Amino acid sequence: MKQNNRTIYARLFAFARPYWGRIALSMLASVGVAGSDALVAKLVEPFIDRIVVQGDFALAKLVPFFVVALAGFKGFSRYVQSYFIKTAGQLAVQDIRNSIFKHLLSLSIRFYTKNSTGKLMSRILNDVNLVQSTLSNVVVTLVKESLTLVALVTVAFYTDWKMALMAFVAIPLTVYPASRIGKRIKYISKRGQGAMAILSGTLEQAFSGIKIVKSFSREINEIDRFECQNKKYYNYSKKTVKYSALSAPIVELISSAGAAVALWYGLQRVMTGQMTQGQLFSILTAISLMYTPLKSLVKVNNIVQSALGAAERIFDVLDEAPDIIEKSPAVELSNVKGEIQFKGVSFSYEDKKVLENFSCEISPGEVVALVGPSGAGKTTLFALLARFYDPQSGCVVVDGNDVRDVTQKSLHDHLAMVDQESFLFDATVAENIAYGRDGVSTDEIISAAKLAHAHDFICSLSDGYETIIGNRGVRLSGGQRQRLCIARAILQDAPILLLDEATSALDTESETKVQKALSNLVNGKTTIVIAHRLSTIIDSDKIFVLDNGKLIQSGSHHELLQQGGLYKRLYDMQFSEQSSS
């Protein structure tokens, strides 16, 4: 959504408001810096008239002390100005990053299916870094140069307003080209940040999928893809540099014309005795010093326009409304028995129908298996139960409570999930197992690992439970990663257990061990299992067979074999494959 500049400014400086004390100190110091430049211009007049023309050597002896004192005062003022405004900017940027990350985690899974990880990382890192220049470097430059410009203009007009007016006629002429260039820079910068997001995504995918890249010998292809995206980003950067570089010569050319007219007019007045040589040099000094902040302000405008493009992208994320909204007040789930009901549930991803009028009941403590072809809607049922999505019609009920009426935290506290992706963090083994709970003891972690038959291989690692396992557990085998995820679910000790292909990555020996561990784990818990290998769910209390989002069969293993239909065909197919192998 396009936002006007005034709105973006207001929202940016709302983040800086808590640090107004630092900003005020910086602005006060800016007055000292601006006053120093104005004082230099004003002191040129007595320096020329009394020392150079009249030969006042007593005053000349004091000049070095004036120079040192003025330099010291200006240096101190510049330090205070820079330190406090930049730290205020850093603190504001820290708050912006925290706000974006907090808001992103509040958004639903649907948002993440539409936005790549690289794109979101670019918003938090690259876009915020660009905005940082507005909240720190740009602000200090804007305040300092504006005050300096005002002070020098005051000196020039106070000394001789007619000559000063000649020089300042050129200033308004610089506004239009500077404005046009700034708008162009904002447009290009926003598109450039979009290109950077794509570039970040390319990096993230290449590094996350490095095993696939290498196993298929696609290094050259990934390099070409990265270089292509990098080239696109460079093209946007080049245009930004072009317009930024163009602004300074335009301003300098127009300003020089004004200075030339002022110099010609001043020389005429000195020759006719209407002003002194000291006054002429004082005004010329003020004019020459004035054009430096003027050019800086034009440069600042270019930076601001780039930052505004990035800020607009940031606020687009902050304005993204979550799909899943918690009711107020919401019910706190407690003492959950594990009764689950799906009542007439229909759900679609965009235009793709996944579930249609699905209904079933699961009693507390039952072990239920979901069976069916890929895309039948099995994993979607997990997502709806965990309220990652809300159904378009129907409802999901836990212990008589519609999951839309309960707090998400209390719902998730009573669910433990082992996903087929077996995701692990770049942390220690112990931290990954204990991820779902705070304050667990080492003994509890080890006990969970033993139940998941992970203890032995953990002990064989270089640092045991303190071993860092790398991004997504890259240092472990697929079976080892799966067992750590199972240990994490065991430690969660939730009354409802969700197993999505929990043993898919295990070899036969490991699968047998984990199945024994799971059989002890599920005792007394409501367990829903998704499994393609039907041999692992034969002992389930109920088996629900799905096809094209509909429940077409239900019953025990033996009942379904007697019914025939899809379940028997799937079972016979797998049995014949196992026999032939």
Of residues 276 and 105, which shows the higher confidence score?
A: 105
The answer, yes or no, to whether residue 211 has pLDDT greater than 60, is no
The span from the CA of 498 to the CA of 378, in Å, is 11
What mean pLDDT is predicted for residues 327-337? 88
Query: What is the band of 268 on the pLDDT scale with cuts at 50, 70, 90?
Result: confident
Q: Are 279 and 135 in contact (CB under 8 A)?
A: no
**Which of the residue ranges 250-264, 462-476, 493-507 has the most confident prediction, judged by mean pLDDT?**
462-476
Average pLDDT on 244-257 reads 65
Separation CA 9–CA 250 (nearest Å): 27
User: What percent of the chain lies above the pLDDT cut of 70?
Assistant: 74
Alpha-helical regions (H) of 319-391: 378-385
pLDDT digits (tens, 9 = 90+) for 557-567: 899 999 888 88
DSSP classification of residue 349: E
Q: How confident is the model over 497-507, as pLDDT tens digits?
A: 888 876 665 66
Query: pLDDT tens-digit profile of 529-547?
Result: 988 778 778 888 899 999 9
Residue 110 and residue 181 in contact, taking contact as beta carbons nearer than 8 Å: no
> Higher confidence at residue 147 or residue 321?
321
- 274-288 in b/e form (b: 16+ CB < 10 A) is ebbebbbbbbbbbbe
Confidence band, pLDDT 50/70/90 cuts, at residue 234: confident
Rounded Cα distance between 209 and 206, Å, is 5
**To which H or E segment does residue 533 belong?**
none
Place of tokens 């192998």: 581
Q: Tens digits of per-residue pLDDT, 466-475? A: 988 877 677 7
- For the residues 28-43, what does the mean pLDDT come to? 75
Beta-bridge mates of residue 353: 348
> Is residue 44 pLDDT above 80, yes or no?
no
Distance of CA 158 to the CA centre of its chain: 51
Burial 449-478 (b: 16+ CB within 10 A, else e): bebbbbbebbeebeeebebebeebbebbee
- For 206, phi then psi, to 5°, come to -65, -45
**Would you state the structure tokens that stand for residue 465, as one six-digit string?**
């439970």
Residue that wins the pLDDT comparison between 542 and 169? 542
HSE, side-chain direction, 13 A CA sphere, residue 515: 19
Report pLDDT digits (tens) over 504-520: 656 666 667 667 667 76
Give me 297's structure tokens: 């302000």
Instruction: Please spell the DSSP secondary structure of 271-323, one letter per residue.
Output: HTTSS-HHHHHHHHHHHHHHHHHHHHHHHHHHHHHHHHHHHHHHHHHHTPPPS
| C-alpha span between 525 and 493 (Å, rounded) | 9
Q: What pLDDT sits at residue 504? A: 63
**Spatial separation of the C-alpha atoms in residues 415 and 527, rounded to whole Å:** 10
Contact 407, 376 (CB under 8 A): no
Torsion of CA 495, 498, 504, 510, to 10 degrees: 0
Element (H, E) at 539: none
Question: What is the pLDDT, as a whole number, of residue 51?
Answer: 62
Separation CA 344–CA 475 (nearest Å): 44
Q: What is the residue extent of each domain of the chain?
A: 5-318, 326-414+530-581
Q: How many residues appear in the chain? A: 581
Chain centre to alpha carbon of residue 15: 16
Q: Does the pLDDT at position 184 exceed 50?
A: yes
Average pLDDT over residues 87-102: 84
| Most confident among 53-67, 242-256, 421-435 (mean pLDDT) | 421-435
Segment 275-306, tens digit of pLDDT? 777 777 776 777 767 667 766 676 676 667 77
Structure tokens at 521: 């784990």
Question: Where is pLDDT greater, at 148 or 32?
Answer: 32
CB contact at 8 A, 321 and 344: no
The DSSP string of 390-437 is --SEEEEEETTEEGGGB-HHHHHHTEEEE-TT----SSBHHHHHTTT-
What is the gyration radius of the CA atoms in the chain, in angstroms?
A: 35
Helix (H) or strand (E) segment spanning residue 361:
strand 352-362
- Determine the Cα–Cα distance for residues 498 and 493; give it in Å rounded to an integer: 12
- DSSP state, 331? B
Helix, strand, coil % in the chain, rounded to nearest 5: 65, 10, 20
Q: What is the pLDDT of residue 520?
A: 63
pLDDT at residue 579, as a whole number: 47
Are the C-beta atoms of 403 and 446 separated by less than 8 Å?
no
Give 358-412 pLDDT, tens digit per residue.
Answer: 999 999 989 999 998 888 888 899 989 989 889 999 999 999 999 999 998 899 8
Least confident of 316-320, 321-325, 507-511, 547-551: 507-511
Q: Which residue has the higher pLDDT, 465 or 59?
A: 465
Per-residue model confidence (pLDDT) at position 1: 47
Residues with Cβ < 8 Å from 403, sequence gap 6 or more?
384, 385, 387, 395, 396, 397, 411
User: How far is 34 from 385, CA to CA, in rounded Å?
Assistant: 64
Query: Considering the chain, what is the average pLDDT of its residues?
Result: 79
Query: Is pLDDT above 80 for 118?
Result: no
Dihedral (CA of 64, 70, 71, 73) sign: positive
Q: What is the pLDDT of residue 228?
A: 84
Whether pTM exceeds 0.85: no
Q: Which option is the CATH number for 5-318: 1.20.1560.10, 3.40.50.720, 3.30.70.2610, 1.10.1200.10?
A: 1.20.1560.10
Q: How far apart are alpha carbons 157 and 286 in whole angstroms?
A: 10
Identify the CATH number of the domain defined by range 326-414+530-581.
3.40.50.300
